[in-house]
Amino acid sequence: MLDLASQRELPTVLLIDDDLVSREVTATLLTMNGYSVHTAESGAASLTMLAAGLCRPGVILMDAQMPGLSGVELIKELRATCPRPRIYVISGSGPSEQVVAAADGLLLKPFDSEALRKLLEGEQHTPRSYLDPGDPVVSPDVLAKLRQMMPEAAVREIYAAVVADLTHRIEALGKAIARRDSDEVHRIGHAIKGGCGMAGAVQAARLGALLETAPSAAEDNHLDNSRALLRDLRAAARALQRMLDAELPA
């Protein structure tokens, strides 16, 4: 069983699984051990629940293969609707590399209470973040210079291209981390550092620099660091998109 003696605040869990038995067993196990659990029988139902504010999860557990909206597309929709939670895939068979890369972790069925405890235990600590709260999303000086040099529409095009490129590289980075391909992680980090640095995207450029020099992803602790950087890059990309919409609306 999970640790009943723990006095730490437990995260709310959203469990998405189309299989009734798996959903009920997992939900019961979580509830018996102090977790507040919300369940959804499909990807679409989970998004409806989140959009209505019926659930504010700290963790999302989702089956890797479900009818309708599922897999990578569901993960993307969940992050867009509710960006804070960590998303873990649960699967009865090995999911695709793309799904593993898009998620924050994987738990294979059938799993026991100890495996579930290990998965959720990390949520009871503040996840390490490499984002510096003092860093601006975009350098005010770089933005001002671009506005002096070209029309607003052209400046928007530049930053829209930066967001699109960063989104593409984040997807590739997730796959490289899933393969434990350190050379590719370093290469992608270098590209992010250079491209975002030229555009004055300070947060993303600094995270790219950290990835460029990240230790070998072959070791679990270093792999965890790369995953934390990936999570922060997603947050930096969302912040850059918000800046674009606010400062340079279409």
Supply the CATH number for residue 163's domain.
1.20.120
Same domain, 57 and 22: yes
Using CA atoms, how far apart are residues 225 and 220, in angstroms rounded to an integer?
Answer: 9
Same domain, 150 and 120: no
pTM over 0.85: no
Q: Is residue 4 included in any domain, yes or no?
A: no
Same domain, 88 and 176: no
**Within a 10 A sphere around the Cβ of 78, how many other Cβ atoms?**
24
Q: How confident is the prediction for the chain on average, in pLDDT?
A: 85
Q: Is residue 2 included in any domain, yes or no?
A: no
For residue 150, is it left (φ>0), alpha (ψ between -120 and 50) or beta? beta
For residue 174, is it left (φ>0), alpha (ψ between -120 and 50) or beta? alpha
Supply the CATH number for residue 26's domain.
3.40.50.2300
Look at residue 34 in the predicted model and tell me its pLDDT. 82
Q: Which two tokens stand for residue 156?
A: 């928007």
- E strand or H helix at 60, and its extent? strand 59-63
DSSP, residue by residue, 154-192: HHHHHHHHHHHHHHHHHHHHHHHHHHT-HHHHHHHHHHH
Pair type for strands 37-40 and 86-91 = unpaired
pLDDT (tens digit per residue) in 48-79: 999 998 888 989 999 988 999 889 899 989 98
- Identify the domain containing residue 39 by its residue range: 13-124
